[in-house]
Structure 1
Amino acid sequence: MTVRGKYVEVDTGVELFVQVIGEGEPVVFVPGWTFTSEVYYQQVEKFSKTNRVLVVDPRSHGRSTVTMHGNDYVTHGTDLKKVLETLDVKNPTLIGWSFGCLTLWEYGRQFGYENVNGMVFVDMPPKSLSIKEEDDWVEGKLDDLAAAYTAYLRNSQGQRDFVSSYASNVMVQRELTEEELNWIVEQSLHTPYYIAASLFASGLFSDYTEEAKNSSEQLPTLYIVAEHWGETATSYLKRVAPNSKVQVLGGHFMFWEHGDEFNRIVEGFLSEKG
């Protein structure tokens, strides 16, 4: 399999690297906080056989330009629009993981859904933080997330420690080998710690509840959520985005650990929505 990479200028001096491979109905993958297009290698291998697959390194991620401005999900939504326009992507299915879902919701907020065929949100609540009991699917407790921000995202070592702990305890359900853990951590370290901190804050203070409702009403929408909050997320989505479909699978990094099952779920979604 030959992976073609393109660089798309989304701002003056800022280029995004985009993997492009295959032909057919377009499917666009966006990785999560500080991670790179490389994490989707199993999905690229699978769907490039039947679809035109694009995988984006957001600004300051992976092989894209590291820049001091635009490291927020409002800008990421605008960047995604420019990528789709530049590469002439018509009516794609957009798939976001973790904070990559924020990019998709922001795209919908700014540009609507006329040029979108479907959306898949992988393990991310529309609102990261809440003090309201009824908003019961959130990223975590405020004190815990504040501690992560202040204790870890102040230097490169802290970023390594944070991602290592998160990978081992939340992302996967089995024990990682040293090689696997190192690879996961290295994906994050393409983004410098000071930019990682900005993105972390931007994501935590986002609220896309209305966009979750709108997307579920206007086009086929699928949520794939981790088992550790499957019941909570399913109940929440029935209230906030009732027209969405919900599947529960693995941990936060389920598309890597349980790649075949994840691909079957996405394949079924692509087939059902036509």
Structure 2
Amino acid sequence: MTDLYYEDAGTGPALVFLHGWGTSGRVWHAQLPEFVRDHRVLTVDWRGCGRSVKPVHGNDTATVLADLLALFDELGVESPTLVGSSIGATFALELALRHPGRVARVVSVDGPLHWPSTGMPIDDLRRGLREDRAGTLASWVPHWYAPGTAPALIDWTVRQILDSGVYIDDHFAEAAAYDPRPALPSARVPVVFLHGERDTEIPLPVAEECASLTPGSKVVVIAGAGHMPHQERPAEFNAALRAVL
């Protein structure tokens, strides 16, 4: 485990929020006041991102999961609901698949990161990030959001990514081949796929197919939202998450 930044507040059932690639626990600020009232809420900047240490090595799913389990042990977090966004949803899902006894429930927010079915040009993206990181992010990140999103929110997202470590790009090597579908029928933890209607990064049919393979799961759609519904439509997102909980 490396040094991780986290925030831990409230009492009640444990609720752990996991951000997407390159951002930080700050993306959940619109959720904290609502859920800290009756949950123990933990936000984590996973390794390489936000205010956590940015190591050269260990930027892969297995190591991120080991970090999270070690953090849960250190803090005495038992059977949490994991709410993960984008690749954070992949981490939440994989933690539940590999360690079902450690997780009560998964809420996959615009995930999992099943890019092989979307045709995402991973090699072009990685090359762009190496050669012109700021320019590549400035052209890519706006597509994470539905049309009409405030430019300030998009700019803030780009800034968070630029402030994170460049070594997190290693996650794209795994993402290029990641396919959770073979493992989903054996899932032993309830999964809810909470998805933005207008997501073009991980389109809604990805979540619908994954839900069809996962016992007892369901899809909840946030109307009008893109890839970041917790930021784009926080009131609707919070209501939907509240209903799940």
TM-score, reference length from structure 2: 0.89
Structure 2 match to 1:173: 147
Aligned: 1:154 with 2:130: yes
Structure 2 match to 1:133: none
Percent identity between matched residues is 27
- The aligned amino acid for 2:125 is A
CA–CA distance in structure 2, aligned partners of residues 240 and 126 of structure 1? 16
CA–CA distance in structure 1, aligned partners of residues 83 and 4 of structure 2? 17
Aligned pairs, number = 240
The 1:223/1:69 distance shift into structure 2, 3 A limit, reads same
Shift of 1:163: 2.8
Structure 1 match to 2:35: 47
- Work out which of the residue numbers 222, 231, 239 in structure 2 matches 1:264: 239
Structure 2 match to 1:183: 156
Partner-residue secondary structure (3-state), 2:94: helix
Structure 2 match to 1:141: 119
1:26·1:89 contact (CA, 8 Å) conserved in 2? yes
Matches within 5 A, 1:191-270: 191-193=164-166, 195-215=167-187, 218-228=188-198, 232-233=205-206, 235-249=208-222, 250-270=225-245
- Work out which of the residue numbers 124, 137, 140 in structure 2 matches 1:163: 137
CA–CA distance in structure 2, aligned partners of residues 103 and 89 of structure 1? 17
CA–CA distance in structure 2, aligned partners of residues 234 and 175 of structure 1? 23
Shift of 1:108: 2.8
Partner-residue secondary structure (3-state), 1:268: helix
Question: Alpha-carbon deviations, 1:23-45, whole Å to 9, x = none?
Answer: 11110011111110111101112
Shift of 1:234: 5.2
RMSD between aligned residues: 2.0
Structure 2 match to 1:92: 80
Asked which structure has the greater CA Rg, the reply is: 1
Shift of 1:192: 2.7
Shift of 1:202: 2.4
Structure 2 match to 1:7: none
CA–CA distance in structure 1, aligned partners of residues 23 and 111 of structure 2? 15
TM-score, reference length from structure 1: 0.80
CA–CA distance in structure 2, aligned partners of residues 252 and 127 of structure 1? 14
For structure 1, the 5+ residue unaligned runs are: 1-9, 130-137
1:170·1:252 contact (CA, 8 Å) conserved in 2? yes
1:27·1:92 contact (CA, 8 Å) conserved in 2? yes
